[in-house]
Amino acid sequence: MTYVERLQDIVRTLRSEHGCPWDRKQTHESIKPGCIEEAVEVLCGINILRETGKADNLREELGDLLLQVIFHAQLAEEAGLFTLEDAARAAAEKMVRRHPHVFGEPVKDAAGKSLTEWTAIKAWEKRGREWEEAYLPDAFEEAALLLQKARERKKL
């Protein structure tokens, strides 16, 4: 068993009937603050790595962010929406699609064309789903509010 699988099992156990009452009552909404806070702490870990060459903090914070991803995926699986494997498959397929110069036919001057291809492929993928973009302004506003609350909790 990999440690990712072990972490999934731990989250399943925490969410189970005999698990932790706090973890069982969590929802996508209730753990949003932790998700945004862990993402910011990853940025901090990157800064520490850049300034000191030490990766311990980044490793820890990436683990905490991974826990958030696994927890959200567990909630989705319990609701019959999708699994962590489904999310990983979608991300892998997207990366392969968006890098035809790597996973398809070799392209002359790939470095110059890759960003153009990426943009075109991304637009093609979003075709028919443009309405999703309408949710972004509110999400950025909510993220800013959650970041402010995190600052207050950490007394920064």
Whether 78 and 147 map to the same domain: the answer is: no
- Residue 44: closest CA among 33, 29, 55: 55
DSSP 8-state symbol, 154: T
User: Does 87 map to a domain?
Assistant: no
Write out the residue range of the structural domain in which residue 151 sits.
98-156
Q: What is the CATH number of the domain that holds 71?
A: 1.10.287.1080
Answer whether residue 88 is part of any domain.
no
3-class secondary structure, 24: helix
pLDDT in tens, 33-74: 999 999 999 999 999 999 999 999 999 999 999 999 999 999
H or E stretch covering 109: none
Q: Write down the pLDDT at residue 120.
A: 79
For residue 2, CA distances in Å to 7, 14, 20, 111, 131 come to: 9, 18, 23, 35, 38
More confident call, 37 vs 106 = 37
Residue 16 in tokens: 């189970």
